[in-house]
A and B are shown apart, each in its own frame.
Chain A
Amino acid sequence: MRARIPALLLLALGVLVGCANTNLRGTGDLGVVIERATGSVQILDTTHRTSLAKVDGLGDLSHASISYSRDARYAYVFGRDGGLTKVDLLTQRIDRRIIQGGNSIGGAISADGKLVAVANYEPGGVKVFDADTLSLVADIPAIGSDGKHSKVVGLVDAPGHRFVFSLYDAGEIWVADMRDPSQPVLRKLTGIGKEPYDGMITSDGRHYAAGLFGEDGVALLDLWDLDAGVRRALVEFGRHGEKLPVYKMPHLEGWATTGSQIVLPAVGKHEVIIADQNSWKEVARIPVAGQVVFAVARPGGREVWLNFAFPHNDTVQVVDLPSRRIVQTLTPGKGVLHLEFSPRGEQVWLSLRDENRIDIYDPDSFARIGTLPAESPSGIFFTVRAHRIGL
């Protein structure tokens, strides 16, 4: 009897310790990769450079993107079929899933973590959901001043309880004040330029910039001073020479801001432009291998990594900002769709769609330091995004 109690206690303790060892962990070194062909995601671990689990049943994930809950435990996956799926990185399961609308392109989460907003192409508009329950809180149809439905692109969260987005067909930027979540107050900026195809917010949360397809330059909004309206920046860029066909639209969420400089893909030009982040004036332009899709700054901001549209989507280039030179050209494989740095930038992960794998590079030596199988991988999203303004 006396001997049995300590034995039981020991056993119980053992179980507890065992649980603690296997179940408790942080999420700061985790991430998710989208497997577009199979409607699944894999949960990634950047410390051990492994995949922890595969989660199925997320629907059509061509062009999916992700926002993270502010505790970096849940990934909200926005799918092309209008699916909104909340994936738990710790239990490695779908926590909740709804079909919110026709055809979504992306989303954002509010700074307080309470609202998840989804941008839809068809029917165009923004829907806002409760981040816990995924129940609908507000529906904002995007009907432009022309009275027509418009596709919504470039949705971001901005300081001051605001969501900001662009209307592709109507050429407008809307700022939705969400202080009363069920009654968004809209500020509509019209005539901002033709066909804004994507938008981004600077890392300080001050400027919203929409890239224009139908005109030169970017439409720029100072979120500290909405009354100043939208102004056009970088117009001179793109005015020279012939416009080349664009086989894939650049993504501006990856526009690299490096503190004082911003690196942008040109549209219809095989160039990147470096602009001063305060004046939004061009500082330099650099010829590159093709139409840039993502320009991603390495944390620290010394280099910017680029991937390209078809038919140059087997190539990755690295721009060194101090010397403004291409310091490396890699051909990691076919269909380089996305690249994502680990939080402090000592690794960069590339998704190689047509090779069905993810490759991990050391951005200092440019050596490949790991590879993982994945089915038609596209976006890679690490949890560090949970703490960035805008996403």
Chain B
Amino acid sequence: MRILTTAGMVIGMAFSSAFADSPPLDPQRQNELVRLVRQDCGSCHGMELRGGLGPALTPQILKDKPATTLVSTILHGRPGTPMPPWKNFLSESEADWIVDNLQKGFPDAR
């Protein structure tokens, strides 16, 4: 368990440094992503992200989960469940940005 957590942390760190290296998203794209998450992810996860057909995506629930897994869930979906893949609409750094913000507490629209 200990080892697993550490491994998770290492991956998490590698991931955040990768995130730091990629160019920051411009504010307009950030706004679009906020809208996308609240409206389109919201149709399953709730606009307040407190859950619906899909689970809640609140910081309490996500903060201890490895970001890489969550990013991969968003990009590739979870086959066999209704969670669809978003890779045709989101780049890896955009998915990183979404996970980072979901874990911190997602900004409101507009």
Contact = CB atoms under 8 A, between A and B. Distances in A.
Co-complex (A, B): yes
Given A80-B46, A353-B39, A105 B52 contact: yes
B33 interface: no
B52 A335 contact: no
A95 to B, nearest CB: 25
A132 B77 CA distance: 44
Interface string A94-109: 0000000001010000
B23 to A, nearest CB: 25
Interface residues of B, number: 20
B47 A249 contact: no
B84 A245 contact: yes
A63 interface: yes
Interface string A32-47: 0000110000000000
A60 B52 contact: no
Interface in B11-47: 35, 39-40, 42-44, 46-47
A122 B45 CA distance: 12
A248 B44 CA distance: 7
Name B's interface SS. Answer: loop
B40 A247 contact: yes
B47 A121 contact: no
A315 interface: no
Nearest to B50: A103
B44 A249 contact: yes
A391 B42 CA distance: 24
A311 B89 contact: yes
Contact of A246 (B39, B50, B84): B84
B108 to A, nearest CB: 10
B53 interface: yes
Contacts of A311: 89
Contacts, number: 60
B48 A249 contact: no
A341 interface: no
A62 B82 contact: no
Nearest to A195: B82
A237 interface: no
A81 B44 contact: no
B51 A121 contact: yes
Contacts of A213: 82
B105 interface: no
Interface string A15-42: 0000000000000000000001100000
B51 A197 contact: no
Given A103-B52, A105-B52, A60 B47 contact: yes
A168 interface: yes
Nearest to B89: A311
B43 A81 contact: no
Nearest to B49: A62
Interface residues of A, number: 28
Given A60-B48, A213-B82, A311-B89, A249 B53 contact: yes
A121 B43 CA distance: 14
Contacts of A103: 46, 50-52
A151 B53 contact: yes
Interface in B61-110: 77, 80, 82, 84-85, 89, 109
Contacts of A361: none
A124 B50 CA distance: 14
Contacts of A168: 53
A62 B44 contact: no
A62 B84 contact: no
Residue of B43, B48, B109 ringed by the most chain A CB atoms within 10 A = B43
Contacts of B53: 121, 151, 168, 197, 249
Interface in A102-146: 103, 105, 121-122
Interface string A212-233: 0110000000000000000000
Contacts of A81: 48, 50
22 contacts: A36-B47, A37-B47, A60-B48, A62-B42, A62-B48, A63-B46, A81-B48, A103-B46, A103-B50, A103-B51, A121-B51, A168-B53, A195-B82, A245-B84, A246-B84, A247-B43, A247-B84, A249-B43, A249-B82, A353-B39, A354-B35, A376-B39
Given A151-B53, A310-B40, 10 more contacts: A36-B47, A63-B43, A63-B52, A80-B50, A81-B50, A103-B46, A197-B82, A213-B82, A248-B43, A249-B53
Interface of B: 35, 39-40, 42-44, 46-48, 50-53, 77, 80, 82, 84-85, 89, 109
In order of increasing CB-CB distance, the 9 nearest A-B pairs are A62-B47, A245-B84, A248-B43, A310-B40, A60-B48, A62-B42, A247-B84, A80-B46, A245-B85
